[in-house]
Structure 1
Amino acid sequence: MARLRPPSKPPGGAACPLLITVCCALVSGGVTAAAETKVVQFQPDGVARQDTFLRYRGEVPELGNATVCFRLRLHQLRELSSVFSYAVADESNEVLIGFEEDTYMTLYCCGGVFHDYYNYSVTLRQWLSVCVAMDLESRLVSLLVDGNIVKHKLSTLSETQLRVRGGGLLLFGQDQDSYGGGFTNTQSLSGTLADLRVYDGVLSDDDMLVFGRCDSAAEMSASPIIDFSNIERDFEMVNVDLLKTTKERYCASRRDKILVFTEPLVFEKAKHICGLSGGKLALPMSERDTWRLFNESVPFGSACNTGSMFSFWLGVQGHAETQTWNHYLTGEPLNYTNFRGRKPLVENPFICVGFVGDDKIDSREHGGWHAVGCKETACPICHLDKVVLLKARGLCKASLFDRQYFLTKDNGSVAFTGTHYSKITRHSPLHDGHENASDHGFWQLARLDRPSVRATLQMTSPTHYPFGRNEWAVQNDVCGTDSEVITITFCKEHQFSCSDGSCIEVQQRCDMELDCPSGSDEMACHFLTLDPSYNSDNPPPRSAASSPVEVQIHLHIYAVESIDVDNFEFTCEIEVTTEWFDPRLRFRHLNYATELNSLSGDERLPWTPQLEFLGDGLTASDVLERRSSLSVRRYSDPLGDNDEEEQASEVFAGEKNSLLLMRKMTVTTPCQFDLEKFPFDEQECSMRLVISGITRDYITLIPDEEGISFSGRRKLLEYVLVKEVIKKQDVGNYSGLEVHLYLDNLTNYYITSTYVPTLIIVVIGYLVFFFPINNFNERIMVGLTGLLVEATFFSQVNSSIPHTAYMKLVDIWMVFCILILFQVVVSVVAIHWVLEKWPLPNVVRAVAKGLPNSLRSPEEQKKARAVKANRFCKLFTPIVTGVFLLVYAGLITLDSVIQKKISVAQKKVPVSQRRSRWPKRRFGVPLAEEKNPRR
């Protein structure tokens, strides 16, 4: 039998005040009350049932074409929300119109000849107008969807004429799996059906648009053969509610909702709880809005009246400096206010606005505003501008509870109604000796069709709502646990729910800034998820093609601390960064700033490549590690959200986001210096980095785009670092890289401290040939002094440069200088011997020379020979020195040319050798970072 519900009485009881009557008319949209119409509500208690439906009493004729129009407000979803089910004796789905979940409209017709699905997103708790026009002759279906008409061809290959056979059974609210039966809970209807019309023919597009607009002034060209004009006469109602409403209600374009929380709160807490519900504190913007809000709040006036004139909060705050009343969120001054009498002054910054919503107060105050202190208490009136779905996170995948809820009213309190079968309701305190009994009551989450499946949350205060993160005691759910931490939040995708239920952007999770009021966004910030079977000793698996796992490496040299030529080694401060992908891993809430994604504090760490450092000749190097850090570099977008986790977190795949190991160390490496050209030498020192313990069939090292970089001072004490190069160089069966450092000797020091002084001494020694030839003592003293000084220089220089068994260029120079000065001393002695001791020739020889005997005295003959020898030494010494300098310079130049040819042959590994799987980066940072500078 139908349960008829009388229309609600106007606020204030049977004797409705004139002002409220006018208010009701304003809300209705006219001066007089709008005409009421009857609608059918299926499953009003939310329990999915098989014994609730509407049956048409008349006979359905045979239809060549047909149109079905209706207005529907879905309360909850089923696997199939069956609206229209027409069956004949041999076919249960002669015509079926329904909605599968909230995504598709399903249509069966003509004895199962065709079955089509149409994308149609349904929003719960909102009226929608639907028309299905089936042109069976042309095999075309026209759908009125959200005021728009969409046409589809029928998906059938049947060549027979399509018709809807008559004489069958027409039901609403259940799917007939057999003629007049075969009902199931999951294929029933939970909602309100209004303005049903069935036409014998195809409605025109204009007529369907008129129906969709609820245009009362326009007349439709056809009359329905079945409608709701006389429901009691034409239909049999089984366990449904027959309600009265106005056409304006189910045709209204407004989709907003008023929600009242019946606990008096201070303004800040009232604002917070409205935010948790996904709404805002209500704020009427016109006289019409005021009276609508008043009518919505009247049923809660008694519960919210604390003895003050006002009972509810509005979303208004006063601004003392500008003396304006502003919107509490935007701060914009209001164009509409409804203060009774003169607009009050804003006396301090903590002035808010209360609303009179109690019909027991003087009618002249109804809907009025009052300026009150924000520390006063009143009930929040929350305005939801659309249907807000809250998500329940933390339930296992197979849980019997719903995962989405919307806020409804239940016996004067707020309830959470699931989108399918569950509901969360508030209950009074239990005083039956239970240890966990609460003085404030409890919230119960229950399956409406399975009451034994439930969960309980004890309230810690009268204002404790199940928003946010709470631990529930669970009974008879399939998850197999006695308690579950469930987070109920209105946060959308890409948002993180704080422990109190408020929302922040998910990018603010674990970014080292406290954004949640409780700081819960920075708790449990573990970036790495390791499967229990993960083995940190094994490297990542190879690809299907058995190609080795690539470990990309970058070597940064901070400084070359020393070049120890005596011990044939060099020491440098380096930072080695290795990067690789491990598909076995999953990461969480990654930032674009890699430094924030540190794994160093985790108890279990993933596999990391171990490097061995070798010097020339594959000799061992001394490595002192200063610091290391393991982090994750984000390249990709996160995977889909998993609501089995009670906190939303972005999860990233290991095959698309890399691990980054940074090691800062001091490395001392042997180097085989070649000092033959010292101090004009150009040295090349090499260092090899080799993967330890795993062959190149499994792991291969490759340099990144830059490969190697240097940021220190290139000019050292004795050498300058000219260039650094890194290239691929395996060692046996192990993958490796080879680093080459090219060094040029700082020859200016040796030129100024050695070559110039020694050359000056040589020049001084050479000048003795310009002294008077008979001044032997001065000449020999200058030559010997130069020779001694040159020998002293040689000894000092030899003690300050590397000792080698072979001659160096500087040694050759010093030996030459000593030899040339030795030649000078020997020449001076020889000239003096010629001058003093040379035996005189006979007179015949003098005559033969054509010289008169008077000019050929023995002394003159000796002096002439000495002068000639001295002249020869003046020419011989610079010629020999010049030839030596040319040969010496040629040796230096030849060495430089050879080194340049070697440099050209040993180029850096080209960028093209990098594999395409590595995402491109700009200055070592993923390009995706430009999307969000903060992360």
Structure 2
Amino acid sequence: MKMDAIIAIVACRTLFFHAHIADAIRVLSFNSDGQQRGDTWIRYNTSVDVPRDYTLCVRFNIKVFRILTAVIYLFNVRDFDDDPISFEVYFEKIRTKYGGYGRFYPLPSNLATNKWYHYCQVRDMENGEGRVYLDGQLIIQERTNFESKLEKREVFIGQDEYQPRNSLSGKLSQVNVWGQAISPDLISQLANCKVNQEGDVVNWSSVWELSNVEDEDVPTEDLCRSVSHGRVTVLLPLLKFREAVRVCKGIKGVIGIPGNTEALRQELAFFKNNENCERQWAGISDEAAEGVWYDPFSEKSYNTSEIYFRQNNPDGDKYQNCIRMNEKGLEDTDCHVHSCSACHTTASTTWTLRGICEEEERMYYLDLIPEPLAFRGYGEYFIEQTGDSMWTWYNTVTNVTISVLSVKDLNYPIGRRTWEVQTDVCGQNKGLRELTLTACTKSEFTCTDGSCIPFIKRCDLKFDCGDKTDESFCQIVNFPGDYRSKLPPRPASNEALPLSINFTMDTLNVDTTTMLMSVSYNLRITWFDNRLTYNNLKLLTRLNTLSLEEVEKLWRPKIGFINTDDIQNTAVDQDAVTTVLRRHPEYVPDLSNPYEVEIYRGDTNPISTTRKYFTIYTCNFDLVLYPFDIQTCILQLQILSASTEYLVFDPEDSFVEYLGPRQLVEYGIGTIDLRVENSTQYSHLKVEVELVRRYGYAMLNIYIPSLTLLVISYITLFFRPSIFDVRVMTALTALLVLATLFTQVSASLPKTSYFKMVDIWLLFCIMLIFVILLFHTVIDLKIDYRGVFNTSSTMDAGRGSDKLLSRGGSPSLNNVVTTMKVNPINGVFLPDESEKYYHDFFRLKQSILKMDALTYILVSKWTVFVIFGVFNLIYWGTLTVSSGLMYSV
């Protein structure tokens, strides 16, 4: 591009100095009708030298967004394509070139039409960084090595190589360039109109060459807010009250309720020159409750005294429930009478045409033109009324009609309607297509009539729209055409897909005899499927529940329960609940869908399926320490869908919990752990349940009874030695009872080839009673008196001797002799010497017998006691160290 070429292409005029008006700023308008032209531009009156560090600021207001909107360029005079400094606007991004470096930068939010923005770009060579500010806020800061050339530059605004499709359509003001990197504080003050400092390289008050632009002075305050502030009024034709409310809500406006004479006059002034509107609605009625006036827009209620009624009104009782405006005040009237109304809406409202197929987002958005009602697109589209009941949507650049709408009920294209597409768009054929023209924001849902409800009420299982369309088309999963439900998802990292397991146990029941554990539990499996996308995910997970038809199309992991008696695995059926968890808040609005849809990614929002199971798992118990044992039962799960190359359990995001009682009939629940093994061919997951035996039952029914029997047997050692039958029968009875107890205990436990601690205890008790019986036998042998006494006196003496022996005393031979009657041997009395010899022998024999009995009785008592004590010390000591005797659950 050369200077003479510029002069030859366009006609220029020079303005030497534009006087600055107090509290007003010069504003230039480019292509204000929205058309694309190649001869609308301005140029600085002279070339400039831009130093290595600089700051460029401009205030801009876009009327129509192009594919690329050319704003400002500082061209190298020698070569326009070499080292440019420029600023270009797109709908959702900007493009900044610092000279030698530049690229696209996303914006925090999309730009809007008819709104002023303040833009500054800073090149700071000393710090090696570029910065971009929008409305005084830093949005881009990056370090880079600039390659800037100190060349003469032309400042050109509004055109990019005179291509009409890129021409600026909008307004500009306060274009300034400083030969330094100005401070962020000064940039903020410039953006907020606190100062009006101009640049030392390029300043807005200097002379500019203008071509086909409009020049005006705008109050400074209007530059610091959107020029579309305030409201616009759409005049609605003759309609019934409910229809007028419906249309006005669709426009996202309100019908006024004058509260005084001045407000009433302002409302009536809108229809001053309209002969067809002799009656005008006020936006209130008492149809629901007589005397209670309800505003359908603000949802507030008023009493009659709060409304500016005409004298002697209201007077229509239940037959006149709406209000019309009269110069003398408001008066009630029939709601079915057709009247006009003034619908007031915000001028900056952005309209969206949903359901069309466009690659560029800007093409979906429009502005409302109030008089006559029409819609001008952010891009090239325009919607206007072309007949009594016909609306046309066409492209202003190509002048091609895209679609038409024939309105049968209300003559407005607002809301969800069926249009007739007359041109192939984005590969979609001609024909009828449902489109939605709405003023609802991204956080709202559009009902068929155009009214808005909060988007969180969309598909929340209750009707909120009057037409109930908020609960329509609530499908959550979007399946791509090449989706295969037999193939597992493959993460972008090409690694195995992790499955998260949530194992929540409700009840446990353990049968020691069969070594089985019955578990009632909820098993939740969670995974990501990056092939899918989801619609309208809610924070409340239960609202993201998939239908059975959707579930059947999904890939679902199959997990087997390994240590069971039969073949069991997970199932996804009508008893399973499958939901999508909204973990990532980011979404993309699907503007091509007439039913507002938010698209969430499948690789950041997982699928979760939950089902309740009742499974009987086999356990391998080691009963050596029974009944003071601690058992571990393992619930083993294995992925069956694919090997570990494709699917693994996620050890970080998997967990187990137990919600049931901690104390069971026979066991107490100890620690519960979850372990993952991904090193084998198929991934395994083990839930280890620690079971601590509750030994109270065994103590009450085994140890205390057996100990009682053992004590009874031991007490027999203290019986009189002469009552041998009593001693033996008591010990034998205890032995028999103990043997029966041993048999019952053995029958209630699994048969094992090893001894259990309870077996050792019972066998010990039996053996100890056997030892006691042996002692009784030996003691009885030692005190046998057969052949020594054969008279009653002798028997009495024997009993006396027994008593003495039982008391530990010594029988007196003299006492015995004095009470005995001795018979002669062979009828002959012994001589005195023989008799004396016999008595000495008998006394010696009795003394020997007495000492042997005492020794054996004493030895038996202490022997049994020591054996019992040593055994218990070893027995209970072993249990204390290696069992659950001292375990606290």
TM-score (norm 2): 0.70
Deviation at 1:658, TM superposition (A): 1.3
* Among 83, 97, 107, the residue aligned to 2:72: 107
CA contact (8 A) 1:75 1:124 kept: no
> Take 1:327 and 1:580, find their aligned partners in 2: how far apart are those partners?
46
Q: Does residue 480 of structure 2 align to residue 531 of structure 1?
A: yes
* Among 880, 902, 912, the residue aligned to 2:867: 880
> Take 1:327 and 1:548, find their aligned partners in 2: how far apart are those partners?
56
Q: In structure 1, what is the equivalent of residue 300 of structure 2?
A: 331
CA contact (8 A) 1:63 1:163 kept: no
Q: Deviations over 1:340-397 (max 9, x none)?
A: 55775896797443124xxxxxxxx4x8433335454422210123243321111112
* Among 248, 258, 261, the residue aligned to 1:274: 248
Q: Secondary structure at the match of 1:303?
A: coil
Q: In structure 2, what is the equivalent of residue 32 of structure 1?
A: none
Q: In structure 2, what is the equivalent of residue 831 of structure 1?
A: 779
Deviation at 1:719, TM superposition (A): 1.8
Q: Secondary structure at the match of 2:712?
A: helix
Pairing of 1:239-250 with structure 2 (within 5 A): none
> Take 1:223 and 1:662, find their aligned partners in 2: how far apart are those partners?
72
CA contact (8 A) 1:81 1:101 kept: no
* Among 361, 379, 383, the residue aligned to 1:424: 383
* Among 743, 747, 772, the residue aligned to 1:795: 743
Question: Match for 1:564: what amino acid?
Answer: D
Larger Rg, first or second structure (1 or 2): 2
Q: In structure 2, what is the equivalent of residue 380 of structure 1?
A: 341
Deviation at 1:332, TM superposition (A): 7.7
Q: In structure 2, what is the equivalent of residue 499 of structure 1?
A: 448
Q: Secondary structure at the match of 1:469?
A: strand
CA contact (8 A) 1:73 1:124 kept: no
> Take 2:437 and 2:257, find their aligned partners in 1: how far apart are those partners?
26
Q: Does residue 717 of structure 2 align to residue 769 of structure 1?
A: yes
CA contact (8 A) 1:319 1:326 kept: no
* Among 261, 265, 269, the residue aligned to 2:236: 261
> Take 1:702 and 1:838, find their aligned partners in 2: how far apart are those partners?
87
Q: Secondary structure at the match of 1:651?
A: strand
Distance 1:715 1:177, change over 3 A: closer
Deviation at 1:276, TM superposition (A): 0.5
> Take 1:676 and 1:225, find their aligned partners in 2: how far apart are those partners?
102
Pairing of 1:42-61 with structure 2 (within 5 A): 60=13
Deviation at 1:274, TM superposition (A): 0.8
Q: Secondary structure at the match of 1:755?
A: helix
Q: Secondary structure at the match of 1:304?
A: coil
Q: In structure 2, what is the equivalent of residue 304 of structure 1?
A: 277
Q: In structure 1, what is the equivalent of residue 199 of structure 2?
A: none
Deviation at 1:282, TM superposition (A): 2.8
Q: In structure 1, what is the equivalent of residue 201 of structure 2?
A: none
CA contact (8 A) 1:76 1:124 kept: no
CA contact (8 A) 1:671 1:685 kept: yes
Distance 1:837 1:884, change over 3 A: farther
Q: In structure 1, what is the equivalent of residue 330 of structure 2?
A: 369
CA contact (8 A) 1:730 1:736 kept: yes
Pairing of 1:469-480 with structure 2 (within 5 A): 469-478=416-425, 479-480=428-429
> Take 2:549 and 2:33, find their aligned partners in 1: how far apart are those partners?
44
Question: Match for 1:60: what amino acid?
Answer: R
> Take 2:720 and 2:882, find their aligned partners in 1: how far apart are those partners?
44
* Among 865, 868, 880, the residue aligned to 1:893: 880
Aligned length: 738
Unaligned runs of 5+ in 2: 1-7, 46-59, 92-110, 121-133, 138-146, 176-190, 197-203, 789-812, 814-836
Q: In structure 2, what is the equivalent of residue 404 of structure 1?
A: 365
CA contact (8 A) 1:701 1:736 kept: yes
Pairing of 1:595-610 with structure 2 (within 5 A): 595-603=542-550, 604-610=552-558
Q: Secondary structure at the match of 2:784?
A: helix
Distance 1:448 1:162, change over 3 A: closer
Distance 1:892 1:772, change over 3 A: same
CA contact (8 A) 2:70 2:167 kept: no
Q: Deviations over 1:787-829 (max 9, x none)?
A: 2222222222222222222221111222222222222233323
Question: Match for 1:312: what amino acid?
Answer: W
Q: Greater CA deviation, 677-686 or 285-294?
A: 285-294
Deviation at 1:406, TM superposition (A): 3.6
Deviation at 1:333, TM superposition (A): 6.6
Deviation at 1:760, TM superposition (A): 0.9
Distance 1:304 1:725, change over 3 A: same
Question: Match for 1:672: what amino acid?
Answer: N
Q: In structure 2, what is the equivalent of residue 19 of structure 1?
A: none
Deviation at 1:466, TM superposition (A): 2.1
Distance 1:834 1:641, change over 3 A: same
CA contact (8 A) 1:261 1:380 kept: yes
Distance 1:402 1:81, change over 3 A: farther
Pairing of 1:467-616 with structure 2 (within 5 A): 467-478=414-425, 479-544=428-493, 546-561=494-509, 563-603=510-550, 604-615=552-563
Distance 1:793 1:373, change over 3 A: same
Deviation at 1:257, TM superposition (A): 1.6
> Take 1:814 and 1:611, find their aligned partners in 2: how far apart are those partners?
46
> Take 1:591 and 1:568, find their aligned partners in 2: how far apart are those partners?
45
Q: Deviations over 1:210-253 (max 9, x none)?
A: 9x99xxxxxxx9999999xxxxxxx999xx9xxxxx99xx9999
CA contact (8 A) 2:669 2:689 kept: yes
> Take 2:861 and 2:434, find their aligned partners in 1: how far apart are those partners?
105
Pairing of 1:726-741 with structure 2 (within 5 A): 726-730=674-678, 732-741=680-689
> Take 2:885 and 2:560, find their aligned partners in 1: how far apart are those partners?
31
Q: In structure 2, what is the equivalent of residue 48 of structure 1?
A: none
Deviation at 1:711, TM superposition (A): 0.8
Question: Match for 1:260: what amino acid?
Answer: L
Question: Match for 1:256: what amino acid?
Answer: R
CA contact (8 A) 1:542 1:549 kept: yes
Question: Match for 1:510: what amino acid?
Answer: C
Distance 1:272 1:756, change over 3 A: same
Distance 1:163 1:644, change over 3 A: closer
CA contact (8 A) 2:351 2:437 kept: yes
Q: Secondary structure at the match of 1:488?
A: strand
TM-score (norm 1): 0.67
Q: Does residue 701 of structure 2 align to residue 753 of structure 1?
A: yes
Distance 1:723 1:839, change over 3 A: farther
Deviation at 1:259, TM superposition (A): 0.9
CA contact (8 A) 1:690 1:730 kept: no
Q: Does residue 285 of structure 2 align to residue 313 of structure 1?
A: no
Distance 1:598 1:837, change over 3 A: farther
Distance 1:838 1:740, change over 3 A: farther
CA-based RMSD: 5.3
CA contact (8 A) 1:318 1:349 kept: no
Q: In structure 2, what is the equivalent of residue 354 of structure 1?
A: 324
Distance 1:293 1:415, change over 3 A: same
Deviation at 1:655, TM superposition (A): 1.6
Distance 1:520 1:225, change over 3 A: closer
Q: Deviations over 1:715-741 (max 9, x none)?
A: 222222211111233463222222222
Distance 1:727 1:899, change over 3 A: farther
